C-alpha cells in the first residue's frame, strides 16, 4: 500500500509542485481514501518525504542498474540515463532541490537531499572506477540536470565531453 501511495504522491508533486496540490488532490493521486492516506502519511511533510524516498529508489534503479564494466561506457550510460530521466520524468530540474526550496526549514528534507546526492555521487564514482571523484561526477550529473531545461540534449553532449576529460585526466 505504501508504494502505491508514495508513487501517486511523487507524481502529484512532480507535476504540480509542493504548494499547489490540496490534500484532496494528493489523495486522488495516491488512489486511496483520505483516511488511508493519513494512516500511512499523517502530515503533508510526511507525504513529501514518502514521495521523495520513492523517487530516490526509482532514480537509483533507473540510472545505476546493469551498467557496463568499462569506465567510459559506464559514465556515458549514467549520463545518458540522466538525460532520459529528464525527458520522461522532469525537465525542470531536481525535485529534491525543489522540495528543500519549498520547505527550507525542514531538516528531514535536507537530510534526504544530502543522502540522495551522496549516494548518487558514490554510485557514479564506483561505477566509473574513480571512487575518489564522486564530487566531480556529482557536479556533472547535477549540471546536466539543471541545464537540461535550457539546452536539452546539448547539455548531455557537454556532460559526456567533460566526463571523458575527467576520466582521461584520471588515467594519465
Return the pLDDT at 71.
96
In percent, the amount of the chain with pLDDT more than 90 equals: 90
Environment class of residue 93 by beta-carbon count within 10 Å: exposed (0-12), middle (13-18) or buried (19+)? Answer: middle
List CB contacts of 77: < 8 A, sequence separation 6 or more: 67, 68
Q: Which of 32, 35, 13, 10 is nearest to 22 (CA)?
A: 13
Q: Record the cell numbers describing residue 110, joined without a space.
A: 535536507
**Mean pLDDT over residues 55-73, rounded?**
97
| Site of grid cell 511523487 | 10
Secondary structure of residue 70 in the 3-state scheme: coil
pLDDT digits (tens, 9 = 90+) for 115-149: 999 999 999 999 999 999 999 999 999 999 999 98
In the DSSP assignment, the letter for residue 31 is T
Return the pLDDT at 93.
74
Return the pLDDT at 91.
58
Secondary structure of residue 104 in the 3-state scheme: coil
Q: Which domains does the chain have, with CATH numbers?
A: 2-171 (1.10.357.10)
Amino acid at each position: 500500500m505504501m508504494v502505491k501511495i508514495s508513487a501517486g504522491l511523487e507524481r502529484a508533486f512532480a507535476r504540480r509542485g509542493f504548494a499547489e496540490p490540496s490534500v484532496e488532490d494528493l489523495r486522488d493521486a495516491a488512489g486511496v481514501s483520505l483516511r488511508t492516506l493519513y494512516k500511512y502519511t499523517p502530515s503533508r511533510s510526511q507525504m513529501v518525504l514518502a514521495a521523495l524516498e520513492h523517487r530516490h529508489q526509482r532514480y537509483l534503479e533507473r540510472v545505476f542498474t546493469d551498467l557496463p564494466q568499462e569506465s567510459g561506457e559506464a559514465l556515458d550510460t549514467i549520463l545518458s540515463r540522466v538525460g532520459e530521466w529528464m525527458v520522461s520524468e522532469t525537465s525542470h530540474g531536481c525535485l529534491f532541490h525543489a522540495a528543500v526550496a519549498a520547505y527550507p526549514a525542514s531538516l528531514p528534507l535536507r537530510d534526504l537531499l544530502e543522502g540522495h546526492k551522496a549516494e548518487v555521487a558514490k554510485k557514479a564514482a564506483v561505477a566509473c572506477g574513480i571512487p575518489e571523484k564522486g564530487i566531480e561526477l556529482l557536479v556533472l550529473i547535477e549540471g546536466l540536470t539543471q541545464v537540461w531545461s535550457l539546452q536539452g540534449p546539448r547539455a548531455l553532449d557537454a556532460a559526456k565531453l567533460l566526463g571523458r576529460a575527467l576520466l582521461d585526466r584520471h588515467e594519465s
